A and B are shown apart, each in its own frame.
Chain A
């Protein structure tokens, strides 16, 4: 069982967490958004092999946060409270 670091609760078992998506995938704003742009936001992903920064939710405390991780060896290099980069300005 791998431990993931919740910025609020500390290290907890991986089964307490749920993947929320790639960090920095911001919802398009305004009324003139094309179908392609919506499809990009909703469906298209970088899906990187190697270092990746993702949004996760710790199900037991209900908090969303950002986690930096390697998608090949699963090593976690850190986690942080969501900031402007993840929310948009």
Chain B
């Protein structure tokens, strides 16, 4: 069987009629006991499984997914990877993710198509330019690459923008992270799944959690649609459904679930070779390798677990996009969808042991979970293996809400929620 992906194995399989490829990951039946359980087969859960095995040698691990892996927010985001955050704590966590993304294809032996095509955040007024300058300063002090862009710089990078006089969203400049970019979201899920499975992790799909096994005040395992599974340590990375699991475990989280929409156009020839974000309209746009324009916007302002989104936000996104890029007016939109994101008051993640000992949290990434997958996995794996915080995850413990020490990126980075 062909295990390693390479030009040589591709060539050999081409000659052999593509008959020797093994399945990318195994689908075993769950065992009654593991060293660790991970709930949630999205990017964060799969990355946790992989780093548990790779960094800590813990391979007797079950990863449980109620649907199919990568079918939640990992398959629904707009694939942007960046680390231009305001606070040092955030720069550390997103910087870790970004640096792991750069070498992820080699690390996983799976092409995640990370493309450092640069990310431009526009400033539409003089005051927005002042905020941008402050933001660039902070980001540079954090050791992250970031530049302040003038109008001329923006014109050079995004010539199709509507620079005409009297436009509703004039450009005064912006901030530019040259090392930011995009990655292929499904490949990130599949690559981590394959690599984790090869190291011995059991990936179990169509397996929903119905309850936690709580004995002596500790989480000792879970009850699933495929039977009870025991482990001394359980991690959960279920994004918008974190509150639902927390309720089963007997505690509450500072999480509100909202729908975040995105849409893609029909594929067209290359027209935009970077990621452009407009905080004022909430619109961000990039072009996929297939040629589709990938368009995202702000959150629906209605708490929701319905994975589809409402019309007013979509209308606002499309209207903003057409004002900024009139050239897109003839495009046909192909698909629209939504994912349920876990929004936290300070727009920063929650990583750490939950109020139920033995159960560990990775949630609260809100609208920005995809970019953080390698870091979320590394840090939850560290917690599950050692029972203690990694230095990078310590500031993001759930206890910050009672201590008042929030990492307020909503104010710092101007995140739209």
The residue of chain B having its C-beta at the shortest distance from the C-beta of A50 within the complex is B305
Q: How far is the CB of A17 from chain B (nearest CB, A)?
A: 8
CA distance A72 to B244 in the complex (A): 13
Q: For the complex, is B241 an interface residue (Cβ under 8 Å from A)?
A: yes
CA distance A73 to B304 in the complex (A): 8
Decide yes or no: A72 and B306 within 8 Å by CB, A44-B401, A46-B247 being known contacts.
yes
Please determine whether B303 and A35 come into contact, CB atoms closer than 8 angstroms: no
- Interface of B (DSSP majority class): mixed
Residues of A close to B404: CB separation below 8 A: 35
Decide yes or no: A14 and B310 within 8 Å by CB, A39-B401, A43-B345, A44-B401 being known contacts.
yes
Q: For the complex, is A36 an interface residue (Cβ under 8 Å from B)?
A: yes
Please determine whether A2 and B310 come into contact, CB atoms closer than 8 angstroms: yes
Please determine whether B345 and A49 come into contact, CB atoms closer than 8 angstroms: no
CA distance A54 to B404 in the complex (A): 26
Within 8 A of B (CB), among A27-75: 35-36, 38-40, 42-50, 52, 54, 71-74
The residue of chain B having its C-beta at the shortest distance from the C-beta of A35 within the complex is B402
CA distance A71 to B257 in the complex (A): 9
Q: How far is the CB of A64 from chain B (nearest CB, A)?
A: 16
Q: For the complex, is A15 an interface residue (Cβ under 8 Å from B)?
A: yes
Residues of A close to B241: CB separation below 8 A: 49
Q: For the complex, is B252 an interface residue (Cβ under 8 Å from A)?
A: yes
CA distance A55 to B244 in the complex (A): 21
Q: For the complex, is B269 an interface residue (Cβ under 8 Å from A)?
A: no
Decide yes or no: A45 and B310 within 8 Å by CB, A52-B303, A71-B303 being known contacts.
no
Residues of A close to B356: CB separation below 8 A: none
Decide yes or no: A49 and B305 within 8 Å by CB, A1-B311, A2-B310, A15-B312 being known contacts.
yes
Please determine whether B254 and A43 come into contact, CB atoms closer than 8 angstroms: yes
Please determine whether B402 and A72 come into contact, CB atoms closer than 8 angstroms: no
0/1 interface trace, chain B 401-416, chain A, CB 8 Å (1 if under): 1111000000000000
CA distance A18 to B312 in the complex (A): 13
The residue of chain A having its C-beta at the shortest distance from the C-beta of B399 within the complex is A39
Q: For the complex, is A8 an interface residue (Cβ under 8 Å from B)?
A: no
Decide yes or no: A44 and B253 within 8 Å by CB, A19-B301, A49-B241, A49-B244 being known contacts.
yes
CA distance A52 to B305 in the complex (A): 11
CA distance A12 to B256 in the complex (A): 24
Decide yes or no: A71 and B255 within 8 Å by CB, A1-B312, A39-B402, A43-B401 being known contacts.
no
B241, B304, B345 interface centre (most CB from chain A within 10 Å)? B304
Please determine whether B243 and A71 come into contact, CB atoms closer than 8 angstroms: no
Please determine whether A19 and B303 come into contact, CB atoms closer than 8 angstroms: yes
Please determine whether B243 and A45 come into contact, CB atoms closer than 8 angstroms: yes
Please determine whether B403 and A35 come into contact, CB atoms closer than 8 angstroms: yes
Q: A14-B302, A45-B253, A49-B257 are in contact. List 4 more A-B contacts (CB 8 A).
A: A1-B311, A46-B243, A46-B247, A74-B306
20 contacts between A and B (CB under 8 A): A1-B310, A1-B311, A14-B312, A18-B301, A19-B303, A35-B402, A36-B402, A40-B252, A42-B401, A43-B345, A45-B243, A47-B243, A47-B255, A47-B256, A49-B257, A49-B305, A71-B305, A72-B306, A73-B306, A74-B304
Residues of A within 8 A of B (CB): 1-2, 13-15, 18-19, 35-36, 38-40, 42-50, 52, 54, 71-74
